[in-house]
Amino acid sequence: MFDLTDKRILFTGGAGELGSGMVKGLLKQGARVAVIDNSPDLGEKIQEFSLYGEVYGINSDISKESCRREAFDETVRCLEGVDILVNCAGIQRRHDSPDFPLDEWNLVLEINLTSYFDFAQLCAAYMIANGIKGRIINIASMNAFIGGKRIPAYSASKSGVVGITRSLSNELAAKGINVNAIAPGYMNTSLNSLKTDPMILSRIPKGRCGEGEDLIPALVFLASDEAEYVSGITIPVDGGFLGM
């Protein structure tokens, strides 16, 4: 079960702290992965990933539509197609809401939401044209449900990810393309400024922040054939936080 052998995966943001763990998990299940990122560490990450399976690095600034289109075309060339899209790219900006710069708002929304929709459009069109029963998996956030403070752009973008996941599912599931999301909780990343806050940790029943590897089981399940009848949902992976 949950075998992903030879599944062709376009993965945005795969060189990041959460993405790295997920890419390794997919490779271990036999998938072939194209990692789209503009991290200066992408080359080193690809070397590391190659220990686990077939992987390609595509350096791209996905805040620009033209770059997204080029990265999609390069993915199709490298993998000879796409079966699964994982939208994981994301940035964070923190300001008091009355002072939040509009240019930073626009940048967060462009990367965290618009790029997700753009890649979903590109991949869905390709899957439909080629008769592929595909998967689109979006990485949302617990902040889609709780809002947070000083992060209005991030919360808006991740709420939007949950929304487009439902909307795309309503249109694409009947065409054989399942669309789902994963909502990480407080994770051990540089984006999480509260990862050592005792008050936050006391509210997580598991007693710790999550790691990228904690997202692998949900991701592999949603990518697999076993999730054939699962579409339009968002799975929280948060150590029980939302249950408090």
Catalytic residue, chosen from 52, 154, 186, 229, is: 154
**pLDDT of amino acid 190:** 76
Can you list the domains of the chain with their CATH numbers? 8-234 (3.40.50.720)
| Percent over 90 (pLDDT), the chain | 93
DSSP character string of 193-240: TTTT-HHHHHTSTTSS-B-GGGGHHHHHHHHSGGGTT--S-EEEESTT
**pLDDT of amino acid 74:** 98
- Judge whether 184 and 215 are in contact, CB under 8 Å: yes
Active-site residue 56, yes or no? no
Span 103-108, average pLDDT: 98
Span 116-131, average pLDDT: 98
Whole-number CA gyration radius for the chain: 17
Q: Tens digit of pLDDT for each residue in 160-194?
A: 999 999 999 999 999 999 999 999 999 988 777 66
Least confident span in 68-72, 113-117, 159-163, 200-204: 200-204
Q: Which residue has the higher pLDDT, 128 or 199?
A: 128
Q: Tens digit of pLDDT for each residue in 66-86?
A: 999 999 999 999 999 999 999
Span 139-148, average pLDDT: 95
- Neighbour-count burial of 201, counting CB atoms closer than 10 A to its CB (0-12 exposed, 13-18 middle, 19+ buried): middle
Name beta bridge partners: 237. Answer: 184
- Neighbour-count burial of 239, counting CB atoms closer than 10 A to its CB (0-12 exposed, 13-18 middle, 19+ buried): buried
Q: Provide φ and ψ at 100, rounded to 5°.
A: -65, 120
Q: Tens digit of pLDDT for each residue in 204-237?
A: 999 999 999 999 999 999 999 999 999 999 999 9
Token pair 């150590």: residue:
239
